[in-house]
Amino acid sequence: MQHEFFNSIVHEWYDLLYRFALSLCQNPDDALDLTQSAFFKLSSKGHTLRDRSKTKSWLFSVVHREFIDQYRKRRRYPSTTLELVPEPASDSKEQPGSQIDAADVITILGQMDEKFRAPLTLFYLEYFSYKEISEVLDIPIGTVMSRLRRGKDHLRKRFEKGLSHNTAPIPFAQVASNE
């Protein structure tokens, strides 16, 4: 693979790929591993790509497949860790959904089943089209649309129940265009 091409791909897609990996695994260290694994595979197998315009979809597919493999491995061989006990919810008199911020969405996405989390993340945070999501997740476009709808319904229900949070709103990064 050409050194200049590889560097341009890393420069262009690293942040988005890392953000996608983080949304899947909810752990910064694991997200870094997934991202670096994808770029390692690109450096070693990128020469087999027939159409370089598909590099973005290929990278996101690699991250998704790696995440699925790790998830399956963890289910098969679970490990025990000590986790921090969450602070009790504060009494809030605000209307449910009146204070929705990025941190709330990320928290709820992290609690969702991966089959809904991945399409929602790719569509709303990474600005992928239905077709691109279909290619990355290797599922039909109809399934993408169905999972997006069901995932949005789940998010809506969670926000209607209301969230208590002690953080300031964190805005989503605005991306002009991925293409």
Convert the pLDDT of each residue in 137-169 to its tens digit: 999 999 999 999 999 998 888 877 765 444 444
177 assigned to some structural domain: no
**Which domain CATH number covers 141?**
1.10.10.10
Residue type, 79: S
Q: Give the total number of structural domains in the chain.
A: 2
d(CA 28, CA 23): 9
Burial annotation 95-112 (CB, 10 A radius, 16+ → b, else e):
eeeeebbeebbbebbeeb
Please give the residue range of the domain that contains residue 146. Answer: 102-161
> Do both 109 and 157 map to the same domain?
yes
47 assigned to some structural domain: yes
d(CA 113, CA 96): 23
15 assigned to some structural domain: yes
Confidence of residue 70 (pLDDT cuts 50, 70, 90): confident
**Which domain CATH number covers 61?**
1.10.1740.10
Is the predicted pLDDT of residue 1 greater than 90, yes or no?
Answer: no
What's the chain's Rg over C-alpha atoms? Answer: 18
Is the predicted pLDDT of residue 89 greater than 90, yes or no?
Answer: no
84 assigned to some structural domain: no
pTM: 0.54
Q: In percent, how much of the chain has pLDDT > 70?
A: 75
